[in-house]
């Protein structure tokens, strides 16, 4: 169980970090350089980009292996999805803005697009965390 949770947390957070580094734009706090957008203009690129990508890939492989070898459980799968989403959002925000922001753009496969700010973002973070942890406990 500890190995599964470690892989889950590592993959979710590093996936968010990686995505935030890739989506960096001119004017973002973590952007360096004068004009260009993209990962090579991220402040962490030279030192951390490949380490983050490697850790993300290893955690994904381990998580996939553990999911395959664990008996299927809808609670485990849904709880994992909630926690991956939550950790990915936190990693993305930290990588792109240097902090967790009170803004989130929720996009479900380009069918639904919702932008929320302020206290609603905190409520969303708390709800995803509680739902994810509860379902993981039921599933493990």
Residues 118-137 have pLDDT tens digits of 899 889 889 999 999 999 99
Q: How far is CA 74 from CA 3, 8, 80, in A?
A: 19, 16, 10
Residues 63-91 have pLDDT tens digits of 888 888 888 788 988 999 899 989 998 99
Rounded to whole angstroms, the Cα distance separating 90 from 30 reads 15
Split into its structural domains, the chain has a count of 1
Neighbouring residues of 28: CB distance < 8 A, sequence distance ≥ 6: 96, 97
Residue 18: pLDDT over 90 = yes
Q: State the residue range of the domain holding 61.
A: 2-139
Q: What is the pTM of this model?
A: 0.85
What's the gap between Cα 116 and its chain centre?
A: 18
């Amino acid at each position: 169980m500890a190995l599964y949770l470690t892989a889950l947390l590592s993959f979710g957070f590093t996936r968010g970090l990686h995505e935030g580094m890739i989506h960096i734009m001119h004017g973002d706090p973590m952007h360096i350089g004068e004009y260009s957008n993209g990962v090579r203009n991220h402040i962490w690129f030279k030192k951390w980009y490949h380490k983050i990508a490697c850790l993300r890939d290893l955690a994904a492989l381990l998580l996939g292996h553990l999911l395959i070898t664990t008996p299927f459980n809808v609670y485990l799968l849904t709880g994992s999805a909630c926690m991956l989403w939550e950790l990915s959002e936190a990693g993305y925000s930290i990588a792109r803005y240097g902090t967790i922001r009170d803004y989130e753009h929720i996009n479900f496969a380009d069918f639904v697009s919702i932008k929320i700010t302020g206290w609603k973002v905190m409520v969303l973070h708390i709800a995803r965390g509680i739902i994810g942890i509860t379902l993981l406990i039921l599933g493990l």
